Amino acid sequence: MKEKMKITLIWVIIGLAFITGLVFFAVRATAPGKLDNFAQCLKTQGVIFYGAFWCPHCQKQKSWFVSSAQYLPYIECSTPDGQGQLAICTQNKVNSYPTWVFKDGSRLTGETPLADLAAKTGCVLPQ
């Protein structure tokens, strides 16, 4: 009988550890990102981030926003096969990636420091 209780106790502990892990990852996944408000402010300020899925600089730029990248005003310029450019980017004369276009028509190209985006837009960059 003691052996059966030990096995039951082990399964209860394993089950609790599993549930604790699920709760931890669920809470972590739904927690707001540190740069959510900053990314949303960029969009509100009329900024557009043009990039391409195959562009390593675009991927690096997005990585600086971590989970907040989902709120960026991003426009994909590449055709699905990676061999051409979509009309919206051609019409807006996007020639390199990443390209940030601001409400006043000015542009920044390449990996742009977040502090530069904040200075250009007035959006608050959390410390």
Q: How many domains does the chain have?
A: 2
Please name which of 61, 52, 50 lies closest in space to residue 111, comparing C-alpha atoms. 61
pLDDT tens-digit profile of 80-90? 999 999 999 99
Give pLDDT, residue 30: 54
Please name which of 96, 93, 105, 98 lies closest in space to residue 72, comparing C-alpha atoms. 98
Residue at 127 is within a domain: no
To the nearest whole number, what is the mean pLDDT of the chain?
A: 89
Q: How far apart are CA 69 and CA 85, in angstroms?
A: 22
Q: Which domain holds residue 53?
A: 36-121
Q: How far apart are CA 104 and CA 42, in angstroms?
A: 13
Q: What would the mean pLDDT of 55-77 be, rounded to a whole number?
A: 97
pLDDT tens-digit profile of 86-109? 999 999 999 999 999 999 999 999
Q: Are residues 19 and 80 in the same domain?
A: no
Could you tell me which residues come within 8 angstroms of residue 17 by beta carbon, excluding any fewer than 6 positions away? none
Give pLDDT, residue 1: 63
Give pLDDT, residue 61: 98
Q: Are residues 43 and 79 in the same domain?
A: yes
Q: Are residues 76 and 97 in the same domain?
A: yes
